[in-house]
């Protein structure tokens, strides 16, 4: 009787663990599906603003599939070396658990594993960036502007379409510069750093800076734009405010540069494998 009760207890415990695993899997599946749906909506909003031709769509599908092959080859190479990496890491762990100094030959093997990984990452990055460059050549100048100015969204903003011109995108910056021009000197001196810091925070949040020197360089340029805007006559400012505003935009090309092994906005959006079924569906509608 006791054995039967014990078996029932184990069976119930097993059921609980199975249920917990199932629940965790279900939750992960739900999160994954929500993430996928959100990504599809963000990509669709961009694609709807690009008005790709049939030829562009077909070429873009080829580039995305090539990018996926590059990513798959990278993962396969890592998988092929998985046993070697695990063996080295286990030896390091054993030495550390025993409180021993890591032997020089083991250190060399660790460095060798890192070098291999970095080399593979560099190769993947170079190939993807090369594909991104090929995708950029497929696009018209206006389509590149659309991607530069696109802010990922679920519902497109009601103020202006996706794909608006640089001049339209710069209107907010131009209004700020107009406001800066009309400030009394003492108030301007008190608040100019605050305006620049607010602007830098936006850039850092959406694009990032490579290092602190780059951030400081852009800070100085923003302050220079302020000073230039204040020094111009009304007529000169009217002529030059569009160019000054473009220099002040977060999408400024001096900030939006490629990082090592990191795609730019074109590659981030248009080499996304989630785009392939969307683009293929579009081709069916032609």
pLDDT digits (tens, 9 = 90+) for 21-66: 555 554 555 556 777 888 888 899 899 889 999 999 999 999 999 9
Q: Are residues 216 and 152 in the same domain?
A: no
Q: Among residues 275, 281, 261, which one has the least CA distance to residue 63?
A: 275
Q: Are residues 29 and 141 in the same domain?
A: yes
Per-residue confidence band for 262, with pLDDT thresholds at 50, 70 and 90: confident
Tell me the pLDDT of the chain averaged across its residues. 79
Per-residue confidence band for 5, with pLDDT thresholds at 50, 70 and 90: low
Is pLDDT above 70 for 158? no
Query: Does 1 map to a domain?
Result: no
pLDDT, average across residues 259-279: 87
Higher pLDDT, 154 or 143: 143
Query: Does 112 map to a domain?
Result: yes
Q: Are residues 85 and 188 in the same domain?
A: no
Q: State how far the Cα of 267 lies from the Cα of 147, in Å rounded to an integer.
A: 10
Q: Are residues 118 and 15 in the same domain?
A: yes
Position of tokens 């939006």? 256
User: What percent of the chain lies above the pLDDT cut of 70?
Assistant: 74
Q: Among residues 171, 149, 173, which one has the least CA distance to residue 162?
A: 149
Is pLDDT above 70 for 133? yes
Is pLDDT above 90 for 128? yes
Report how far Cα 96 is from the mean position of its chain's Cα atoms.
37
Q: Are residues 238 and 276 in the same domain?
A: no
Query: Does 165 map to a domain?
Result: no
Q: Among residues 136, 149, 132, 142, which one has the least CA distance to residue 45?
A: 149
Query: Does 2 map to a domain?
Result: no
Q: Are residues 144 and 47 in the same domain?
A: yes
Query: Does 132 map to a domain?
Result: yes
Higher pLDDT, 185 or 7: 185
Q: Are residues 191 and 86 in the same domain?
A: no
- Reported as a single tens digit per residue, the pLDDT across 197-239 is 877 776 665 556 666 777 888 888 889 999 999 999 988 988 8
Query: Does 222 map to a domain?
Result: yes
| Residue 60 near residue 138, CB atoms below 8 Å | yes
Q: Are residues 145 and 193 in the same domain?
A: no
CB atoms under 10 Å from CB of 157, counted, come to 11
Q: Are residues 66 and 125 in the same domain?
A: yes
Q: Among residues 251, 272, 32, 44, which one has the least CA distance to residue 153?
A: 44
Residues in CB range of 198: below 8 A, 6 or more apart:
none
Query: Does 258 map to a domain?
Result: no
Q: State how far the Cα of 40 lies from the Cα of 273, in Å rounded to an integer.
A: 11
pLDDT at 194: 84
pLDDT at 53: 93
Determine the longest span between alpha carbons in the chain, in angstroms.
Answer: 99
pLDDT, average across residues 143-148: 88
Structural domain total, the chain: 2
Query: Does 271 map to a domain?
Result: yes
Q: Are residues 19 and 152 in the same domain?
A: yes
Residues in CB range of 54: below 8 A, 6 or more apart:
283, 286
Per-residue confidence band for 273, with pLDDT thresholds at 50, 70 and 90: very high
Residue 182 φ/ψ, nearest 5 degrees:
-90, 0
Q: State how far the Cα of 207 lies from the Cα of 223, in Å rounded to an integer.
A: 20
Higher pLDDT, 191 or 134: 134
Q: Among residues 249, 248, 252, 245, which one has the least CA distance to residue 174?
A: 245
Per-residue confidence band for 187, with pLDDT thresholds at 50, 70 and 90: confident
Per-residue confidence band for 69, with pLDDT thresholds at 50, 70 and 90: very high
Q: Are residues 20 and 153 in the same domain?
A: yes
Structure tokens at 212: 């602190």
Structural domain that includes position 109? 10-158+263-285
Q: Are residues 271 and 137 in the same domain?
A: yes
Handedness of CA 130, 135, 141, 147 (dihedral sign): negative
Q: Among residues 133, 67, 117, which one has the least CA distance to residue 275?
A: 67
pLDDT, average across residues 250-259: 46
């Amino acid at each position: 009787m006791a054995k039967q009760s014990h078996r029932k207890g184990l069976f119930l415990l097993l059921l609980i663990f199975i249920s917990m695993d199932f629940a965790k899997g279900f939750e992960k599946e739900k999160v994954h599906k929500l993430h996928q749906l959100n990504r599809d909506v963000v990509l669709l909003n961009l694609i709807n603003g690009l008005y790709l031709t049939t030829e562009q769509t077909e070429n873009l599908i080829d580039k995305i599939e090539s990018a996926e092959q590059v990513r798959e080859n990278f993962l396969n190479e890592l998988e092929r070396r998985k046993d070697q990496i695990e063996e080295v890491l286990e030896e390091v762990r054993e030495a550390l658990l025993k409180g021993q100094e890591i032997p020089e030959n083991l250190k060399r093997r660790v460095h060798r594993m890192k070098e291999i990984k970095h080399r593979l990452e560099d190769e993947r990055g170079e190939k993807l960036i090369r594909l991104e460059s090929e995708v950029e050549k497929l696009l018209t100048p206006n389509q590149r502007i659309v991607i530069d100015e696109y802010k990922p969204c679920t519902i497109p903003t009601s103020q202006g379409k996706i794909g608006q011109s640089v001049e339209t995108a710069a209107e907010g910056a131009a209004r700020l510069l107009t406001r800066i021009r009309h400030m009394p000197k003492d108030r301007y001196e008190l608040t100019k750093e605050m305006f620049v810091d607010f602007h830098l925070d936006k850039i850092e949040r959406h694009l990032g800076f490579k290092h602190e020197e780059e951030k400081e360089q852009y800070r100085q340029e923003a302050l220079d734009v302020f000073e230039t805007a204040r020094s111009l006559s009304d007529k000169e400012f009217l002529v030059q405010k569009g160019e000054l505003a473009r220099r002040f935009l977060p999408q400024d090309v001096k900030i939006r540069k490629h990082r090592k092994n990191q795609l730019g906005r074109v590659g981030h959006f248009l080499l996304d494998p989630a785009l392939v079924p969307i683009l293929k569906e579009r081709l069916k509608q032609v």
